[in-house]
A = this chain, B = another copy of it.
Amino acid sequence: MVDVQSQPDDRRIPLQKVGVRNVSHPITVLDRDHRTQQTVGELDLYANLPHSYKGTHMSRFIAVFQQHAGDIRMPHFLDMLDDVRTHLDAERAFGVLRFPYFMEKHAPVSGQASYLNYHCSFSGISSEVQREFFVSVSVPVTTLCPCSKEISDRGAHNQRSTCTVTVEVEQFFWMEDLIELVESRASSGLYTLLKRVDEKHVTEHAYDHPVFVEDLVRGVTTAIEDRFRFPWFSVEATNQESIHTHDAYAYVERGRPPMEKPCNLTV
């Protein structure tokens, strides 16, 4: 049977990125409190394509990924990319794996337990000269506006906000530790189950800890630099402003920039 993809191409146009997107697959990741967690991954996986080949063999991306899906822990993600390079005969392989990750949380006063869902991702790139790996966690929080509090005789507008931290990883860390760090710098963390005593607590705690979207990313930045040693990281936050239909946003990045920023891998 003819291998059309392997036929030569004479247009002399190398492609930076060829691959598969939105592959849905059950995956298993590490869990600080329960050893492992089974969840649902969504994968984008790419390689470069030299100018002399007409097409890539898309099914090989799937075949390689399937062999790794049962144990996608941080140290293994780049190993999977190495396998992609080998099986696709490519110079560079890269990709991103998005997944919901659940943590059990305890309400601040009653101690009631419930699960909260954090959108996380692993991404990375592998080549002869480059091995970069990133972890991203999106943490939903409350932010209460310092300006609204200051200028108003009573109350202050507040809202759901999402703070996303993306870190370049050189040694293993627990995503849970990063998530708790973000929650500690917001006006309040969120919970799926709150009793009235808890609702009073989070309301007053938020009122006592107002943060602009700018304050949130700066506070998280300072806390990360105090506690972790990532070669590079970014912090962004989006406030779903309760007084507008548009959002407020802030972004900061710190450290030595990687050869490829995650946005180049994942967009």
Interface residues of A (CB under 8 A from B): 1-5, 9, 11, 13-26, 37-40, 44, 46, 49, 54-56, 58-59, 62-63, 66, 100, 102, 112, 114-117, 140, 142, 144, 146-160, 188, 190-197, 199-200, 202-204, 206-208, 212-215, 217-218, 221-222, 236, 238, 240-254, 261, 263-264, 267
Contact = CB atoms under 8 A, between A and B. Distances in A.
B159 A242 contact: yes
Contacts of A23: 192, 246
Contacts of A221: 11, 13
11 contacts: A11-B218, A11-B222, A18-B214, A21-B238, A54-B212, A59-B193, A59-B194, A151-B200, A155-B203, A157-B199, A160-B241
- Interface pairs A-B: 9 shortest CB-CB: A155-B207, A17-B251, A24-B117, A152-B203, A4-B147, A21-B247, A23-B246, A38-B38, A55-B212
A24 B218 contact: no
Copies of this chain, count: 4
Contacts of A245: 22, 24, 116-117, 140, 160, 190, 192
A114 B62 contact: yes
A84 to B, nearest CB: 14
A152 B240 CA distance: 23
Nearest to A211: B55
A226 B200 CA distance: 36
Given A147-B196, A153-B204, 8 more contacts: A4-B150, A15-B214, A15-B218, A21-B246, A25-B117, A62-B193, A152-B207, A263-B267
A11 B243 CA distance: 28
